[in-house]
Amino acid sequence: MSFSVHDPRGGRTASAPLLAKRPRTLANLRIAVLDNGKEQADVLLARAAHLLKEDGAQPQFDHKPSFSRIAPAEVIERLANCDIAITGLGG
């Protein structure tokens, strides 16, 4: 299995993709839903996870203690088997 990690801090080269390719369907995709610790992120991401599940995806919800820190290794390990990850919502 291979995957790409896109660094949101920039430094993108001209040949690097801007966005990951969109899947044709969400059915059976394992989607990591990571609450980044920002205010209301848990509410918004819980709703997103619910909608993803209605579309046939298999969301796996987790959280990290602070938006300003990298996720702990155990959180990354739990979500490593997912096909797609979403995070970064909140006030």
Q: Is residue 4 scored above 60 in pLDDT?
A: yes
**Average of pLDDT values for 42-59?**
92
Q: What residues does 4 pair with on adjacent strands?
A: none
Number of structural domains found in the chain: 1
Alpha-carbon distance of 75 to 64, in angstroms, equals 7
**pTM higher than 0.75 for the full model?**
no
- Supply the pLDDT for residue 21: 75
Q: Are 89 and 38 in contact (CB under 8 A)?
A: yes
Q: pLDDT (tens digit, 9 = 90+) per residue, 22-35? A: 788 889 999 999 99
Q: Is residue 84 helix, strand or coil?
A: strand
Where do we find the tokens 């991401």? Answer: 45
* Domain boundaries, position 55: 30-87
Q: Minimal CA–CA distance to 84: which of 56, 48, 59?
A: 59
Alpha-carbon distance of 52 to 8, in angstroms, equals 23
Residue 19 lies in a domain: no
Residue 61 lies in a domain: yes
Residue 14 lies in a domain: no
